Structure formats: structure tokens, C-alpha cells
Structure 1
Amino acid sequence: MIRNAALGSAATLTAGVLGAGLLLAPPAGADSRSYAVSEAVGVQIAAARAERAGIDWKDCPADWGLEKPIQCGWVKVPLDYSKPFGRQIEIAVDRIGNTGTTEERQGALVYNPGGPGGSGMRFPRRVTTKNPLWANAAKAYDFVGFDPRGVGHSAPISCIDPQEFVKAPKADPVPDSEADKRAQRKLAAEYADGCKERSGWMLPHMTTANTARDLDVVRAGLGERKLNFLGVSYGTYLGGVYATLFPGHVRRMIVDSVVNPSKEKIWYEANLDQDVAFQMRWDDWKAWVAQNDASFHIGDTPEKVEAKWRELRAAAKANPIGGKVGPAELIGFFQGAPYYDSSWVPVAQTWSDYLAGDTQALVDAAAPDMSDTAGNAASENGNAVYTAVECTDAKWPTSWKKWDRDNTRLHQEYPFLTWSNAWMNYPCAVWKSKQHTPVEVGAGRELPPVLIVQAERDAATPYEGAKELQRRLAGSRLITEEGAGSHGVTGLKNPCINDRVDRYLLTGKVDAYDVTCAPHAGPVAPAPAAAKAKGAAPAPSALPQLEELPAVR
């Protein structure tokens, strides 16, 4: 609604302002800082400004790590969409033009990798690095990435000094006593205080809904009448919210590895569900390690592998490995295996090398590099945005008794990630800024078909989320990678999926029914003889690329 009744209804204002071409400034005599409209009108005003201004594309700054011919630019958006002429922030964007002909071009494909807190700026590198999975799409689309509000180069937020954030070893997240729980709660409260102190001006506006509004303004700045969008992990929730707020602006939308969009799940319950799914995929990995005991020599049954894991945790707790790697750092490294099949061999090999006497391999893999100030700043920023968005999107339980009861119960059966996940999110219980009500995700027939892609045993975004989103988006189609569990399916070689993604992007066509695909080729353990040789782990290029690293944490 219009907050100044003298201005009339939102519909009247929108029609009048649009028709009169007065979108670039508030009415005469109005205070631009306090001139208030509905958020729906605010985004129209901001989008009209962005469309008129366009984007001043230039070579990317040298320290952004984006080679030519990728170009970079900025799009201005309101901090608060109800005050579209008030404080503005800049959203960093980059692009590479389509590789095909002018006739083949279908517009821009905008990407979000997840998080919240992930940067999409490396997306155009799928073209410069000649990623074969995206060659057909690149002929038709400009590949466009962006840093969402608060991330990277887009008014970045912070909650703690980056060097303090990465300092190790941290306390074991699994508490042994009530004193341990009190200590973790104190750390979480201090973190929430730090967010308020360092970034309080941004916190009330760090919502998925506002990021979706930013996305629509970016669309307008690109000169696109409708949006083509690829969202992975949290990017699927961003896509779902965008489709709800702007169904008529969607042309193509692919969502991959889906966050459950139910208002009841965002975000407390979603994280509890994640604990269960991570344990499932951790158990899958342990079984695979046991099957390949001739290569890794960790244990020839899942039970023996689990016993070795507990031994490793206990040893690291009593005496941190290399003085830096305790249980918290071990979990940070080992959770790569439940996240991505491509991490199964490297994680197992590093563990195997450690058991064979190579302590440094595990330290290098799991301990922070305190000299990497830029990387540490990016890690801290990503965690700050993750916390700010999830804490601001929804109202969280404030009762410690509820948190303690829920996580104690889950830990009994799903111990791998439960307490680590709880402490990561506990700042939301003591958040120092406004918490909103989540968007009720859903859209009807005005939305074109949305393509949903999901691995059946995904740990970070459990499978039920894909089915729930499909129920909410009319006409959407679900591709299930049966029996697989990697997070981020569209980045993997699986022709059953890749061909359908290409067909959808190039023609807009989806299957008449949902599709189940066999899993992609699984990880292959090194031959036993090779496994004994130091350095037998795959080269770094076999690991997930930066934009595919763990998103919904």
C-alpha cells in the first residue's frame, strides 16, 4: 500500500508514474529519502531507472580474477524498495556474450550458485574455459553472473574480523556438557552482536525477497523483457521467490538441488531436515570407502570406517592435528564427501594418507590458510550473508529449550552434522534485527514451465524440497537423478539430464511427464598400487569449481 494516503492507490500511482515517465525522480516537493510506496511499486520504479540507464560494461578489475572477454558493470538498486529514491546500493554483474550468431541469440542467462552468500561472478568462465556441458547454451545466451546484495562486490557485509573468523582450532561443536553448550551460545550471541555492529544498516533488508527484487532490476538493466535464470541450491529458493513475485517476467527457469520452499520449513526446520539427509549421504560414502578398502585401508565395513572417524575426532580433540585441525575443522573438510561425489576420492585419499603417516596432507586440506587474507575475507563475507539472509527471512525459535531438545534428539541418530549445523544457525535465535515472514512461494498458469533437477539422495537440499516446489509451480517438470546424491546436478556429465537442460534452454520444451534418470558415473577409487603412492589423489581440477562449492550450509 501507499504509505502517504494523499498519493492515492498503488495501482493509480504505478499507472500514473509509468505513463507520465516520471520514474526517475520523486514527485516535486517530496523528500526523496522518505518518499514511500509499496515494494511492488518500488521495484517497478527501480527497474525503469535501470532499463533507462543500462549497464556500462567495462573490462573487469584486475583483482576480480575474470579474464577478457568477460566484462563487468553495476546496477543500482534501492536498499529499501518501499523507499525507491532513498539510499541506493550497487549490484556487481558480469557477462560474456553468446558464442553463436546474432540470429541464434536468445538473451541473457542469469545465474545464482546458492548460499545464501555465494557469488555468481564466475559463471561466464564456463564459456572462457570451454566447459562442454554448456557449449550449446552458450551459443544462444549471454552468460551473466552477479553478486547478490551483501556479497563480494555488492555492498558487502561483515560480522567479525576475517582473520578471527577463520582462526583454528575452534571448539568441538559436539558438546560434552552444559558448560560446552553455554560457551557455544555465547559465541553465537557475540557473532549476532558483531553483525549488528558491523553491518546493522543492511540487516533489515537482507531478505530473499529483496534479492529477488534486485534480480528483476538486473533483468531490466540488461535490457531483457523477461528473465532466463539458472539457480542452484539456495538459488532455487531465490528462483521460487522470483517466480512468485514476478511470474510474468519469467521466460526460462531451471532450478537445481532444491531448497524446500514451504514457509514452515524456512529456515529452522529446513536445517533440521538437512541433518538427517547429511547422515544418509555420509553413510553412503562410508559404505563406498569400505568397498574400496584395498585402495584406502581405512576399514572394510561401514562400521569400521565409522569407528576410525570417531577415533580421528577424538584424537584431534585431545591434540589438534598440526596444532590447527580439531573436530570442527575435520567436519568442515569431511562434509565435502556428502556434498559432492567428486570429493569422495580426495577426502578418502587424504584420510588414507594421514593414517599412513602423512599428517601434513590433512593439515593442508582442513586447516585455514591464515596468509590468504582475500580468501579469508571472502569466507567471512559468505558466512555473514548466509547468516543475515536466513536470520532475516523468517522468525526463528528463541527458546533455548527447543533448540536443545530438537538437536539433542537428532544427534542421537544423525550425529555427523547436527550440532555443527545448530551452532552455525544459533545466531538467528538471538538476532538483533527485524525478522520477516517468508514469501508464500507459488505461481499459477501465468508462469511458463519451470525445469526442476534434483538428485534423489542430495544431502544439502533433501529430495522432498524438489517435490514441494513442483507442487507450488504450475506446469513445472521434475528430473530426478535416481540413487545419486551430488549437490548441483546440472554441472555433472549425465546425458539424460544435460540433453534435457539444453532442449529446455534452446526451445522451452519440457517432457510431458516427470523424468527419472540413472545416476551419473560415480567416483572411481585409485588402483590399490597407485593408492599407496603419495600424491595419488586427483588433481585440483577434479574438485568442484568455486561457484559449485557448498551453498546451503
Structure 2
Amino acid sequence: MRAAVLHGTAGAVLLTALVAAPADGRPVWPDSAGSPETLGTAVAAERAAAAGIRFGTCSKEQDVPGKLQCGTVTVPLDYARPDGKKIKLTVSRVRATGRDPHNSKRKVPRQGAFVYNPGGPGASGMYFPLIGFLPEWKRIAAAYDLVGYAPRGVGRSSPISCQDPKHFVKGPTPAPTFPSESYKKERIAEAKAYARGCVRRSGSAVRHYSSLNNARDLDVLRAALGERRLTFMGASYGTYFGALYATLFPSHVRRMVFDSAVNPAPEQIWYQNNLDQSAAFENRWADFRTWIARHDEVYGLGATPEEVLHNYEKARAQLAAEPAGGKVGPGQLQGAFLQAGYYDDYWPQRALALSAYLKGDPKPLIQQAEPHPEAAVEQENGNAVYTAVECNDAPWPTDWRTWDRDNTRLARVAPFETWGNAWMNLPCAYWPVARQQPVDVRALPGALPPTLILAAERDAATPYDGAVELQRRLSGAVLVTENGAGTHGIGGGPNRCVNGYLDAYVLEGRLPVRRAACAPHEEPKPTAPGGASKKATRPSR
């Protein structure tokens, strides 16, 4: 999936690995008993349990408050060779407060470590433990050590790269909704060069950056933390390798939360999931335009979604002719509004920036959409991990005609994100490393403790069908739906109903019978220039 814009919006395991591909290409069920990777994971976990994690002051580069502690855990690069090359994953922690947030005199028993992954692939969870200072998380922070980490390849965890970061963050860029044949050829050449660059800059080790190895790393982290069984919450992509973990190590699970679930069906990983994501973003873009139209008196962008779209396209055309500030073109505009497809708390400021731009003031749009060269290294690294993991995880179409056919058809009905998503993932068509077959994610009755799935009904980044499919595959899983909402990642957010189910499960192990629903959280309030709601003038047409 395209990385959530953080949170986003993705090397290969050899075919002799745990999920050696059958000749007919069927999804596989991992051999949990005797494969080299399974034995290697057990060896690595035993060593990690003996070594533990020496938490101490975080490095100056991490620039975090003093309550956050940092350490490392060692894992094999290749689990089939646990005595071979090792890499270190950075880990962060804030200890359980042990105090009831509503009654400071009341002590709360510690329940262990609560490990979190924010998704990606390519996102770091190193700052996650600081979330315990927010009101929505204080009950969990009282009972658990909050633990975040940077997965393999990310940040300081044996980072990989596919391109010189100075060339990765750039602007202005085009973003044609219906690209010409010449533009397609340019992007094909870029995708081929990028795929080659991943191996050239990161070496043959890139094949070991995969979702299966992320799941194995998670078990080594569990052992290093001294936990017999894992309490884990994964968001977005984190739900996918969390589901792999539940499949590979069901007896090691204590409690597991899947927030905004990826569809884990083998045939969906990853090409079809990205097509489905593009279709869902079109619906979420329509939700955003409807909201803007409902507040036409504030933004003056149109009283109907169609009028809002007209003004958005007008801005695209103007930016193509003359980029704002010389840096913000149609590509940057689309990227900024894609963020609003993930999180509706972006809606007021994005609408305000579009309105101001069309009235002659480009400053808010430049501020929100311009590239940031100082973030180039981090962003290029995240994109490299995204590419390596998604390309390694599954077979992708290698014939450009398949991509062209599927995305051309989809763009006719879902133009907002279709081609942008295609270009993001196209290096996987030319990936120079052997790929694996996706695991058949599944937990049979009694094999796995009950788990919790959280999903927003109109989530675009991980469409709702993925949550339904994950529940079908994990026996005993319970699905809680935020009806009518589309924010990506809902646990610990603004919806008290959702948070009630999250707290009840994480703190007490309590779940509804099979499914439950919550009303949507309150929509964002419109913001006019200066922060006040007032009647707006319409931009000229």
C-alpha cells in the first residue's frame, strides 16, 4: 500500500525460504515446524531473550524528550542463516506510569510491553511511546510500557536507499490525470532506473527486506523485551505483517489490535490492493469535496462537489502553467490533497489554501505543499523500504501492458489517485530480485487468542473490505467499525466509542461477541482566514 502520509499513504526472500513458491503459484501455508527460517527465528529469539535490551538515553540525532529511552535489538539479516550477518533495530520505550490517570493515588498493575507499528512499509514507530502523554492513551500508558521501533531498513535500523536523496524530493512536478504516451515512457524509464538503484545502493541484502522478515523481527523483539507472549497494535501496513505474525506464531500472541486493516488475501498482495486503494481514494475525495461545498460560505469554492472539482482543476491548470513559488506544481497540489484523503483533520487548512490560491494568495498553498529538502534523506529512505518490501512480498505483473490497461480503465472512473499510485509502485514491475509467494494468512479455531480489528467504513488507504477479509481469516477476531467515517487509523483518536472498545480489550481482554459499530467522530469545523468562520467571496472563474 502507498504509505500513509506521515503515515502516509514499500528485499526479496529467496524462493527456498519459509514460503518457497509452489510451481503453480498458489498461496502457501508456512511450515511452522522445520523450515530453516523458523528454526533461525527460534535461535535469534533465544539469543535476544538472553541479551535483553539495554535501554538508555536516546541519541542527540533522535532529539526526543528525556522520558523516552532507546536501545537496540539484534536480528539476523537472513533468518535461514542465524549465525550469518546481523543487523540492529532501534527500539524506544516509555515505562508504564503505574498510576490511574483519573486517580493518581490508585496504582495500576503493570501488564507488560505494548508494541506498536504505524505502517508504511517504511514508517518508523520510534516516537510512538510519547503518545502516552495524550489523554486518549493515558489508561493504556498506565498499565503498559509503550514500545516503538524502527523496522529493518528504516531510519537507523540498517537503513536502505534506492536513490540519491537530493534527487528524490523535488518540485514542481506534473501529475497528469490522463498521461500521454510520451509521459508514460518517461515514468517507465524512471521506474526501471529506480529498481536498479535499490540493488546498486543497498546491495544484495535488499532481498531480505520483506513482510515475513518484519514478522520474524517482531518475534525477536518480543523475546528481547522479556515477553512470553506479545501485546501488539499495528496500523495500516502494520496489520499485514501483524497478521503474518499471528499466522506464524499464534501461541506467542497475548493480545493483538489491527487498526485499519490491509486485505491479506494472497491474490490481493500487493498489485490488486493498490488498485482497490485508488478506487477508494476517489470516494474519499468526493467526501472531501462534499464537505467543502457544504461550507461554501467559508471557502467560496462552490456549493456542489462538482463546482469544487472545477476549482481544483482550475488550480491544477494554473500551477502547471506557473508553479507557485517556483516549487509547487500539480504534483505537489495532488500530494497535499492526498493527505486529506487519509485524515479529515487536514480538510479545513487544505480547503483554505485552495481558496486563497485561487483568490491570488499562494502563500498558504506553498506552505502546505512545497517540498522540504531537509527531509529528503528520511523520505527517500521510507520510500526505499516501501518499494523493497512490497516488491519482494509477491509477484507483480511484469508486462507494462497489464499496468497500462488496468490503470487506464480505473482512471476513467477514479482519476484522483490512480496514476499517482501506479507510478509509486511501478518499480515492482522491473524488480531485479526474486520474489516470494504471499502466505495464506489464517488462524484456525482455538489456535489464536481473540484479536481486535478496528476499521473506518470509508477508509481509502485500507478499504473496509480488508477488515472484513481479515476477520474471516482469523478465527475469533472481532471487528469494530466506525460507520460513515474515513480517517485512516482510528484507535486512540477522537472517537470515544472506538477508544472504549480499544481500552476494554487491551486493558481487560474484553471484546464484543463478533462485531460492533460506532457512530462517526465529529467532522472538522471549517476555518476561514484568521481562524474565524465568515462568509467568503468566490474565486474568479
Common fold by TM > 0.5: yes
Q: How has the CA–CA distance of structure 1 residues 79 and 530 changed in structure 2, closer, same or farther, with 3 Å as cutoff?
A: closer
* Aligned pairs for 1:91-170 within 5 A: 91-100=89-98, 104-127=109-132, 130-170=133-173
* Aligned pairs for 1:160-239 within 5 A: 160-239=163-242
The Cα shift of 1:357 comes to 2.0
Distance in 1 (alpha carbons) for counterparts of 2:159 and 2:498: 35
1:286-315 Cα distance to aligned partner (Å, 9 max, x none): 011011011011111111111111111112
1:441 aligns with 2:441: yes
The Cα shift of 1:531 comes to 5.1
What residue in structure 1 maps to residue 498 of structure 2? 497
One-letter code of the match for 2:117?
Answer: N
Which of the numbers 44, 47, 50 marks the counterpart of 1:46? 44
Q: Secondary structure at the match of 2:453?
A: strand
The Cα shift of 1:87 comes to 0.4
Unaligned runs of 5+ in 2: 1-15, 19-30, 100-106, 535-541
Contact in 2 for aligned 1:336/1:347 (Cα 8 Å): no
One-letter code of the match for 1:112?
Answer: N
The Cα shift of 1:337 comes to 1.3
Distance in 2 (alpha carbons) for counterparts of 1:193 and 1:320: 31
One-letter code of the match for 1:497?
Answer: V
Q: Secondary structure at the match of 2:128?
A: coil
Q: Secondary structure at the match of 2:353?
A: helix
1:7-44 Cα distance to aligned partner (Å, 9 max, x none): xxxx9x98xxxxxxxxxxxxxxxxxxxxxx61000000
Contact in 1 for aligned 2:251/2:447 (Cα 8 Å): yes
What residue in structure 2 maps to residue 17 of structure 1? none
What residue in structure 2 maps to residue 74 of structure 1? 72
Contact in 2 for aligned 1:233/1:488 (Cα 8 Å): yes
Q: How has the CA–CA distance of structure 1 residues 260 and 437 changed in structure 2, closer, same or farther, with 3 Å as cutoff?
A: same
Q: Tell me the TM-score normalized by structure 2.
A: 0.89
One-letter code of the match for 1:208?
Answer: S
One-letter code of the match for 1:294?
Answer: E
What residue in structure 1 maps to residue 478 of structure 2? 477
The Cα shift of 1:319 comes to 2.1
What residue in structure 2 maps to residue 511 of structure 1? 512
Q: Secondary structure at the match of 1:164?
A: helix
One-letter code of the match for 1:149?
Answer: R
Contact in 2 for aligned 1:349/1:531 (Cα 8 Å): no
1:407-426 Cα distance to aligned partner (Å, 9 max, x none): 00000000000000000100
One-letter code of the match for 2:84?
Answer: G
Contact in 2 for aligned 1:256/1:453 (Cα 8 Å): yes
Q: Tell me the TM-score normalized by structure 1.
A: 0.88
Contact in 1 for aligned 2:349/2:527 (Cα 8 Å): no
The Cα shift of 1:532 comes to 7.8
Distance in 1 (alpha carbons) for counterparts of 2:131 and 2:338: 26
Distance in 1 (alpha carbons) for counterparts of 2:413 and 2:532: 33
The CA RMSD over aligned residues, in Å, is 2.0
Which of the numbers 299, 304, 307 marks the counterpart of 1:304? 307
1:432-491 Cα distance to aligned partner (Å, 9 max, x none): 112111111111222111100000000100000000000000001000000000001113
1:58 aligns with 2:63: no
What residue in structure 2 maps to residue 25 of structure 1? none
Q: How has the CA–CA distance of structure 1 residues 209 and 177 changed in structure 2, closer, same or farther, with 3 Å as cutoff?
A: same
Contact in 1 for aligned 2:236/2:489 (Cα 8 Å): yes
The Cα shift of 1:522 comes to 1.1
Distance in 2 (alpha carbons) for counterparts of 1:117 and 1:474: 29
One-letter code of the match for 1:454?
Answer: A
Q: Relative contact order (C-alpha < 8 Å, sep 6+): which is higher?
A: 2
1:245-270 Cα distance to aligned partner (Å, 9 max, x none): 00000001011011000100000000
Unaligned runs of 5+ in 1: 4-10, 15-36, 534-553
Contact in 1 for aligned 2:118/2:237 (Cα 8 Å): yes
Q: Secondary structure at the match of 1:489?
A: coil
One-letter code of the match for 1:153?
Answer: R
What residue in structure 2 maps to residue 251 of structure 1? 254
After TM superposition, the structure 1 stretch with the greater mean CA deviation from structure 2, 352-361 or 421-430, is 352-361
Distance in 1 (alpha carbons) for counterparts of 2:175 and 2:335: 12
Paired residues, what number? 500
Distance in 2 (alpha carbons) for counterparts of 1:287 and 1:49: 55
Identity of aligned residues (%): 51
